[in-house]
Structure 1
Amino acid sequence: MIDLTPITTVEALGRFRQLPPVHSRELAGLWRGSGVPTNHPLDGVLENLGWFGKRFHPNLRADALLFQIGPGRLVALDPAYIPLGLALRLGSLGRTRLVRQCFRFLQRPLRAHGHTATLEMQDFEGIRSAALVYDRQPITDRFRRIGHDQLFGMMSAHGDPRPYFFTLTRRE
């Protein structure tokens, strides 16, 4: 189990490096996400907007961003419509009630029409493990195994040196 109390990016990266790899074929299913606070601009933003997690399909395609829009009701949003650069620059704004309320109105036009990312095996610092490559954003999520039903994730946005860390826990 990863402790979700605030840590530094260096500490989170050290933990990530120590964990064993996971194979992309093992990930099929629904996963609940939670951010790991490291003072990244996106800390708390996804949770404020109702982020649920990710869904991986047996064909190695994925719903990269699942949001909860009601009790037991999930919707996949297309990351292509998210202004990544703006979100990284104005992260604190994404933690406000106003943005959360506006986001509710934007969920319908932001809905994905099909899967939005592909699972593959990638090397990171000499270790081959599962990675999720977004179709229309310069984002890669890399995964390491915490336990059988829990993963440690590291999101990298091309051109931004700051990784965003999160955990995923398998749901039935």
Structure 2
Amino acid sequence: MESMGRQDEMKAWFSSLKPVRPGELIGLWRGAGIPSDHPLDGVLENLGWFGKRFHGDMRADALLFQWRADRLVAIEPRFLPIGLAIKAAPFGRTRVARTWFSYLQKALRARGTTASLALQISGDDATAAMRYDGQPIVDYFRRMNAQELAGMMCVAGDDRRYFFKLRRIDAIAATEA
């Protein structure tokens, strides 16, 4: 099965990267998917995903979207059941989905942080991980270079992994990114 081959390659690549500590993540990060033959490949980008924001209290805005050129909106993941999101992934890559999501962002807005950071075991090492509130999702992080992290989203009960990268940016640059 070709797609599992790509998944296995990506898991091995991710495991080869250096672990990071939760405190190293504090700040604003711009995200982008890394193609891995996962159903969600391309969905977040189509919907205007910006990235993630990690706070000093080890809490996080798990899903930040670009609402307007000058505004980021944190979305509440509890409103988007991950199983349904994966099943609806082909629709999530359409122009119609992008338009609908732009109208729904205000209603889906988080009223606070939506995830927590901690050190967790991933493979043979402990690395920073973000556990979503109210969702069976954990994102693990590893260092690609001085400014970039690789992320691996794990959904309980699903062997497939969604891979993404995060690039640290200044808060001021967020409106220009």
TM-score range, shorter chain: over 0.9
Give ranges in structure 2 of 5+ residues lacking alignment. 171-177
Instruction: State how far apart, in whole Å, the 1-side matches of 2:162 and 2:70 are.
Output: 27
SS at 1:80 equivalent = helix
Match of 2:167 in 1: 169
Instruction: State how far apart, in whole Å, the 1-side matches of 2:18 and 2:70 are.
Output: 32
Asked whether 1:64 is paired with 2:77, we answer: no
Give the 4+ runs in structure 1 shifted more than 2 A.
none
Match of 2:157 in 1: 159
Instruction: State how far apart, in whole Å, the 2-side matches of 1:83 and 1:26 are.
Output: 29
Instruction: State how far apart, in whole Å, the 1-side matches of 2:8 and 2:159 are.
Output: 12
Count of paired positions: 166
Instruction: State how far apart, in whole Å, the 2-side matches of 1:47 and 1:139 are.
Output: 19
SS at 1:113 equivalent = coil
- Identity, in percent, stands at 53
TM-score by length of 1: 0.94
TM-score by length of 2: 0.91
Instruction: State how far apart, in whole Å, the 2-side matches of 1:59 and 1:147 are.
Output: 24
Instruction: State how far apart, in whole Å, the 2-side matches of 1:83 and 1:131 are.
Output: 20
SS at 2:144 equivalent = strand
Match of 2:50 in 1: 52
Cα pair 2:53 2:64 within 8 Å, conserved: yes
Q: Which amino acid aligns with 1:132?
A: M
Q: Which amino acid aligns with 1:57?
A: H
Root-mean-square deviation (CA, aligned residues, Å) is 1.0
Cα pair 2:81 2:135 within 8 Å, conserved: no
